[in-house]
Chains A and B, each alone.
Chain A
Amino acid sequence: MPYSAEISRANPSVFMFLIDQSGSMVEPIAGSENKRKCDSVADAINRLLHNLIIKCARGDGVRNFYEVCVIGYGATVAPAFSGPLAGRDLVPLSEVASSPARIEERIRKVDDGSGGVIEQKVKFPIWFEPVAKGITPMGTALNMACKILREWVQRHMASYPPIVINISDGEATDSGPVPQAQELTSLATEDGNVLLLNCHISSQPVQPIIFPESDADLPDEFAKTLFSISSVLPASMRELARAEGFNLGPEARGFAFNADLVELIRFLDIGTRGSNLR
């Protein structure tokens, strides 16, 4: 199980996001008075999809190195793309790129090259809207992920295994998430088991914790539970994370507490990338 399969058009992989859309996601995120957790998560998912598309874009379009799925769990458990992709589960990346719900223009502050800052208009595509309603059926969401991916891994045995990223503020209100997560991560291609990464977004003003090796410093039971179901990062991923400046040990898990989601997976890399290529 080396986690070394090349991700290519012939052997694509999967990014699946499971997003907590429960009522508690209207609470502000730690360290921010007015930014709701659900807004912060929606922004992060849209940026993640954006980054993934740019990463896989070439001059002639987006290469289908990945299929992408977003599942929301709250009042319902269902695929959560909005716009033309509404209701779809696994979508090839090139189709994600060409089918956002809408494209907003936002202002980005960038370095002008001589010490100043200039404002630049950037396109900000939206695929996913903030929702905060209902309970936290995390177990059911993991079950749905398992159902979708069971079939996928059977069809893609030579591929790099799917990476599932679960983003939640904590406590499952169904029987989850431990047995469902175990079932999900028992799925495997010839290259390795499905990887489950968990991001815990908390209202508690606790310093971010990224890729810990134990649950000793985690502040509550919910965080400890999410840590317990997070995959140990494979060696290849640890190396990439180290190259990005993360400090992590051999048993580091795919778990983050109050961390910036985009930062968290920016190291998931494909192919040659220059050290001055940003």
Chain B
Amino acid sequence: MVPIVTAFRLPKQGYSLDECDDAFAYEVNCLRFAIADGATESAFSDRWAQSLVKAYITEPPFGMPPAEDAMMLWMLPLQHEWRQSIDWASLPWYCQEKAENGAFATFLALEFSAHGTVWEKIVSRTLQGEELKWNAFAVGDSNLFQVREDQLIATFPVARSDEFSSRPILLASNENHNYSALRDIKSASGGVKPGDQFFLATDALAKWFLERHEAGEKPWQQLLALKSEEEFAALSERLRKQEGVRNDDMTLVVIRWEG
């Protein structure tokens, strides 16, 4: 099996891509994927979101899901780097105060691996015919969907569209603000069969996805049809204008496992 990956990122309408606080990264060789949604109301959250997804691809935290301590250790150098990247002396008082509070972002990480133990391999292959296993962990409301044979079979960490709020738990670049976030790391796992599709989406798009599914539709079909940045932009504009989707940064990563 090989994965075919497409990924898109779009700023809010009226904003430039430089002002987009969403980030994604993936590495097909090690089968790791991540998205992050920087909080619009914090300073330099775009760098923070970028830093989290890149670090996950190159050197993920220990454990799946990582324990509180492992996450804290993993973020320390990223937090240091974030602080170092800011030219504090040249910031006016308001930007300084904003940045001292830190940047904030949601984070969703997904990894595929061969089944771990011999027992797992035997059981899962003979019982389910699943060749790979996926593991994911998340802080906040960036979401993962798994589709098999045109049916939604997994949604993580948000299961229903009404669970999205404007105040998700976020990972902070200021370690003093991370206590509640680290206690709230959620995780999930499952099997992969040839033909399975995975979608990683930040909140506005993920909420739309769940709403349409709850209404009996198959929103993934529209996402699977996307071929280019332009098509993604056109779809986003339509969703914002006609389907009441919030004007927010949007990120989508689609992973198709071809048999």
**Contact across chains for A272 and B40 when beta carbons are under 8 A apart:** yes
Find out whether the CB atom of B14 lies under 8 angstroms from the CB atom of A54.
no
Q: B167 to A57, Cβ gap below 8 A?
A: no
**Chain B 172-206 interface residues, beta-carbon cutoff 8 Å to A:** 172, 176-181, 203
In the complex, how many angstroms separate the beta carbon of A65 from the nearest chain B beta carbon? 11
Is B149 an interface residue, CB under 8 A from the partner? no
Distance A113 CA – B43 CA, assembled complex (angstroms): 23
Q: Does A86 contact B (CB under 8 A)?
A: no
In the complex formed, the residue of B with least CB distance to A60 is B95
Which residues of chain A from 227 to 278 have any CB-CB distance to chain B below 8 Å in the complex? 243, 269-278
- Assess whether B14 is in contact with A276, with CB atoms less than 8 Å apart: no
Alpha-carbon distance A57/B169, docked complex (angstroms): 21
Q: For residue A275, which residue of chain B has the nearest CB?
A: B167
Distance in Å: Cβ of A85 to nearest Cβ of chain B: 15
Size of the A side of the interface (Cβ < 8 Å), in residues, is: 31
Chain A residues near B170: list those with CB within 8 A.
274-277
Known: A6-B247, A103-B93. A58 touches B181 (CB 8 A): no
Assess whether A59 is interfacial by the CB under 8 Å rule.
yes
> Does A8 lie at the interface of the complex (its beta carbon under 8 Å from any beta carbon of B)?
yes
Q: With CB as the reference atom, state the residue of chain B lying closest to A111.
A: B176
In the complex, the chain B residue whose C-beta lies closest to that of A96 is: B94
Q: Which A residues are in CB contact (< 8 Å) with B126? A: none
Complex formed: what's the CA distance from A54 to B91 in Å? 13
By size class, the interface of chain B is 35 or more
User: Taking the complex as formed, is A199 at the interface, i.e. its CB lies under 8 A from any CB of chain B?
Assistant: no
Q: Which residues of B contact A269 (CB under 8 A)?
A: 166
CB distance from B10 to the nearest CB of A (A): 16
Q: Are B41 and A277 in contact, with the CB atoms below 8 A?
A: yes
Q: Are B104 and A58 in contact (CB under 8 A)?
A: no
A273 to B40, CA, bound (A): 7
User: Which one of A6, A8, A113, A272 has the highest number of Cβ atoms from chain B below 10 Å of its Cβ?
Assistant: A272
Complex CA–CA separation, A125 to B92 (angstroms):
12
CA distance A61 to B91 in the complex (A): 9
B contact residues around A274 at 8 Å (CB): 39, 42, 104, 140, 167-170, 172
Task: Tell me, rounded to whole Å, the shortest Cβ–Cβ distance linking A12 to chain B.
Answer: 12
Q: Which residues of the partner chain A approach B99 to less than 8 Å between Cβ atoms?
A: 59
Q: Is B227 on the interface with A (CB-CB < 8 A)? A: no
Please, what's the 1-or-0 string for B74-115, where 1 marks a CB less than 8 Å from any CB in chain A? 000000000000100000111101110100100000000000
Give the interface centre of B37, B39, B94, B181 by most chain A CB atoms within 10 Å.
Answer: B94
Contact B98 A54 (CB under 8 A): yes
The CA-CA distance from A188 to B97 in the complex, in Å, is 35
Q: Is B26 in the interface zone, CB < 8 Å from A?
A: no
Whether B97 and A54, one on each chain, are in contact in the complex, defined by CB atoms closer than 8 angstroms, is yes
Contact A59 to B44, CB < 8 A, known contacts A8-B14, A103-B93, A272-B248: yes
CA distance A17 to B41 in the complex (A): 24
Do A54 and B166 touch across chains, with their CB atoms under 8 A apart? no
Interface residues of B in 98-153 (CB under 8 A from A): 98-99, 101, 104, 140
Q: Is A9 an interface residue (CB 8 A)?
A: yes
> Which of B44, B86, B95, B180 counts the most A-chain CB atoms under 10 A from its CB?
B95
CB < 8 Å neighbour of A277 from B86, B95, B177: B177
Contact B93 A273 (CB under 8 A): no
Residue of A9, A103, A123, A275 near B180 (CB, 8 A) is A275
A44 at the interface (CB under 8 A from B): no
Asked if A209 is an interface residue, CB under 8 A from chain B, the answer is: no
Question: What's the nearest-Cβ distance from chain B to residue A116, in Å?
Answer: 14
Tell me the chain A residues, 44-73 only, with Cβ under 8 Å from chain B. 53-55, 57-62
Residues in B neighbouring A10, C-beta threshold 8 A: 14
Cβ of A9 and Cβ of B14 under 8 Å apart?
yes
Within 8 A of B (CB), among A8-56: 8-10, 53-55
What residues of chain B have their CB less than 8 Å away from a CB belonging to chain A? 12, 14, 37, 39-44, 46, 86, 92-95, 97-99, 101, 104, 140, 165-170, 172, 176-181, 203, 247-248
List 11 extra interface pairs beyond A8-B12, A58-B98, A276-B104, CB under 8 A.
A57-B98, A59-B43, A113-B176, A123-B93, A123-B97, A243-B167, A269-B166, A273-B166, A276-B178, A277-B101, A277-B167
Q: Which 7 A-B pairs have the closest CB atoms?
A: A274-B170, A271-B40, A59-B44, A57-B98, A59-B43, A275-B167, A57-B94
Q: What are some 13 contacts across the A-B interface (CB < 8 A)?
A: A54-B97, A54-B98, A57-B95, A59-B99, A98-B92, A273-B167, A274-B39, A274-B140, A274-B167, A274-B172, A276-B104, A276-B178, A276-B180
